[in-house]
């Protein structure tokens, strides 16, 4: 989703942060799924949502500072919303409180 978003001046320096945050989402889901207990899994789902919030913030800042064009940003937001629901629903279905 965030790989190869653009080549505008200054974007390359920021792109690494975006990519690390995106990879962190998948990595935390995998770490949580690999744990023995439901509590640990729910903990990593919570961390995953934090990584998604970080990525969303980085994308908004990139848009605000002109490193990401309006059309591309607009296309990413529905994807982010969709991905953000996944750990929330998993957490809730595993007995987590609604956040």
**Structure confidence at residue 20 (pLDDT):** 83
Residue 3, in any domain of the structure: no
The answer to whether residue 98 sits within a structural domain is no
Whether residue 20 is contained in a domain is answered as yes
pTM: 0.71
CA distance 13 to 78: 25
Residue 85 lies in a domain: yes
Question: How far, in Å, are 73, 76, 90 from residue 11 at the CA level?
Answer: 14, 16, 34
pLDDT tens, position by position, 41-84: 888 888 888 888 888 898 888 889 888 888 888 888 888 888 88
Q: Which residue has the higher pLDDT, 13 or 65?
A: 65
Within-domain flag for 86: yes
Burial class (CB in 10 A: 0-12, 13-18, 19+), 32: buried
- The answer as to whether 4 is a domain residue is no
* 61/85 Cα distance (integer angstroms): 22
User: How many structural domains does the chain have?
Assistant: 1
Distances (CA, A) of 60 to 49, 57, 69: 16, 5, 11
Judge whether 40 lies within some domain: yes
Residue 40 belongs to domain with CATH number: 1.20.1440.60
User: Does residue 5 fall inside a structural domain?
Assistant: no
């Amino acid at each position: 989703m965030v790989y190869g978003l653009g080549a505008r001046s200054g974007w390359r320096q920021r792109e690494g942060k975006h990519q690390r945050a995106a990879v962190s989402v998948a990595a935390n889901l995998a770490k949580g799924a690999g744990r023995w207990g439901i509590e640990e899994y729910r903990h990593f789902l919570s961390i995953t949502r934090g990584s998604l919030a970080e990525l969303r913030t980085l994308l908004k800042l990139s848009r605000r500072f002109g490193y990401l064009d309006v059309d591309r940003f607009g296309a990413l937001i529905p994807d982010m919303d969709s991905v953000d629901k996944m750990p929330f629903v998993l957490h809730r279905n595993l007995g987590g409180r609604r956040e």
